[in-house]
Structures are given as structure tokens and as C-alpha cells.
Structure 1
Amino acid sequence: MVVEVLDELDRRLIALLRADSRMPASALAARLKVSRGTAQNRIDRLLARGVIQGFTIRTRPELEGSRVRAIMCIAVEGERSGAVVKALRGLPTVDKVHTTNGRWDLIAELDTETLREFSDTLDRIRTIEGIASTETSILLATQKF
């Protein structure tokens, strides 16, 4: 498996698209403080390399019964949290990353379309340099309060 190397601009662009995949290139460029052409070229390159595999919409969680959502607890080696968070930020199936105290250093929220994509995500995360160990739990149901 080839691990993609994304720079900070790529990761920030992916994060913006994750929040709103319909955001125009001009708006992305303004938020990233780059030219419209640079933003569009980055999107095109990420699409061509397969980093971005498509654009999607979000629906209410109760309508997404077939998605695989999980929580991954991550122990980080030494003082490598920043580098690990940066690497996680570039993965489209990582929805959020939280820092925490206690046994685990980070908690990642994963959101995938299929079990195959879920398995691939676990494989990619486990190869990130600086991760000592992980423990993952699939979310079976969500209760609203």
C-alpha cells in the first residue's frame, strides 16, 4: 500500500472540502490565502492521485444506517502528537481528532462507507509514524438526548 504524502495546504484544503464539498474554488482560495488557480490545481491533483475519491453530501445520522462509524483510541510515542494529528488530518475517513488525558493520547472519530473502507482506514492509520498502539470500537447505535 502506498502512503500519500500531503503537505499542510493539501490537508487544509481537504478539511475545507470535508466541511463543505460544494465550496467554490474561489472561496477555498480565499480561505487558504492562495490564488483560485492554485486551489483548483490542488483539487485536480488530489483527484488525479486518488487522494480525493469523490464528493458527497451529509444526511441526518439516523438516515445513514449503512455507514461504518467508529472511535479509535491512539497512544502516541513520545512527543509526536502534532505529527500524528497532522497525518490524521489528511485522511478523508477521519472525521475528528480529539486530544485527551489518561491511557490514550488521541481519540479519532472514523466515518466510512463500507467495512472494506473501514479496514483500509485502520491499516493506513496503523502505519503512521509515531503511533504506538490503537484500540478501535465500532459505533453500533446513537441515542439522542
Structure 2
Amino acid sequence: MVRRSMDELDRAIMEALSVDARTSNRRLAAQLDVTEGTVRARIKRMEDEGQIHITALTNIDLLRNPTLVYIWIEVERSEQSDSVARQLAAVPEIGFVGKMLGRFDLLAITLVQNNAELADFLHRNVSGVKGVRRTECSLGVKFVKHDYRMSRIVHSEQVSEG
């Protein structure tokens, strides 16, 4: 599959959808001064090539008692980092997994409603993963700013072939 780099029109469509993914193709076409078919084809191509993924996001500001949990993970051996990261990434409740530099090897982020749910989650989904030596949690208890668009995909301008 040849993945094309995004041009100005692709970026304009992506930007509009990042504000409101339910905007109709007709409205986008009118805003961007192109045909509806062009918008539809561009969105389909970007989805097919994995450049965008349109989905619904939970507004954590509306949850009853959201606690954002940063789970810092130390692995037993550094060569286990990729395997542990893949296993954690497969857990549906974990929204972010990243390899880190510094005191811990990995960071996983999730949301829980209370301490009991956190303890159960850690025992059920994290501590038992082969290669996890220890974990430490940091809790986000008050959200000063939460911009859901921060998870928007950022693309390189290179054309890749695969």
C-alpha cells in the first residue's frame, strides 16, 4: 500500500473533523470550496491508509469521580519492555502506553472511579503481566485543563511505501 503525504486539503478536512467529527461531508465541502465527493473520497482514503480514525471520546469532565491514573512500570529486564508494552496496550481500559526514559521503563494511563477499582485493576491487568517488576501510581485528582484533541493524530510529511 502506498501512503500519500497529507496535502493542505487533507489537513483542512482533518482539522474540521477534529473539532466536530459529525460534520457532514456536504458542510465540509461548502466550507472548503470542493465537491462533496472529493471530501468523501479524501476521508475514505485517509481512513484506509490509517492516517485518521474517527471515533467517539469520553468527556472525562462529565464522569462522576474520574481519577486519572498514571501507572509507572519497571520491567525485570530491559529487553522485556516491548513485550510488556504490547500486553498492556491490549488492555481496553488503558488509553496510553509509552516507553519512557528515566526511573521507570513504561507508563500506562487509565481512568478509575475509586481506590478499590484501581487496586483491582492493577492486580488483574498489570501486576500479573510477565516481566513487570514493580509499579508505582500517580493520581490525577483535579483536571485544570483537558483538551480531547491532544490525542489527535499528527502525521509526518513523508511518503511511505509498504
TM-score (norm 1): 0.55
- Cα deviation code 1:39-83 (max 9, x no counterpart): xxxxxxxxxxxxxxxxxx644222124233210100112110111
CA distance in 1, matches of 2:88, 2:75: 12
Separation in structure 2 between the aligned mates of residue 71 and residue 118 of structure 1, nearest angstrom? 11
Q: Distance in 1 between matches of 2:69 and 2:91?
A: 14
CA distances 1:97-122 after superposition (whole Å, capped 9, x unpaired): 11110110111101234544322211
Q: Letter of the aligned partner of 1:61 in structure 2? A: I
Provide the rounded CA distance (Å) in 2 between the counterparts of 1:140 and 1:67: 8
User: In the alignment, what sits opposite 1:71?
Assistant: 70
Q: Which has the larger radius of gyration?
A: 2
Amino acid at match of 1:111: L
Q: Please, which runs of 5 or more residues in structure 2 have no aligned partner?
A: 1-46, 49-55, 147-162
SS of the equivalent of 2:101 reads: coil
Q: Distance in 1 between matches of 2:86 and 2:69?
A: 20
In the other structure, the counterpart of 1:129 is: 130
Structure 1 regions of 5+ residues with no counterpart?
A: 1-29, 32-56
Which secondary structure state, in structure 2, belongs to the residue aligned with residue 73 of structure 1?
Answer: strand
Percent sequence identity is: 27
Cα RMSD of the aligned pairs, angstroms, is 2.5
- Which shows bigger deviation, 77-86 or 113-122? 113-122
1:91 paired with 2:87, answer no
When the two structures are aligned, how many residues end up with a matched partner? 92
TM-score (structure 2 length as normaliser): 0.49
Q: Distance in 2 between matches of 1:137 and 1:65?
A: 19
3-state SS in 2 of match to 1:80: helix
Task: Tell me which of the two structures has the higher relative contact order, counting C-alpha pairs closer than 8 angstroms and 6 or more residues apart.
Answer: 2
Indicate if the aligned counterparts of 1:68 and 1:115 stay in contact, CA closer than 8 A: no
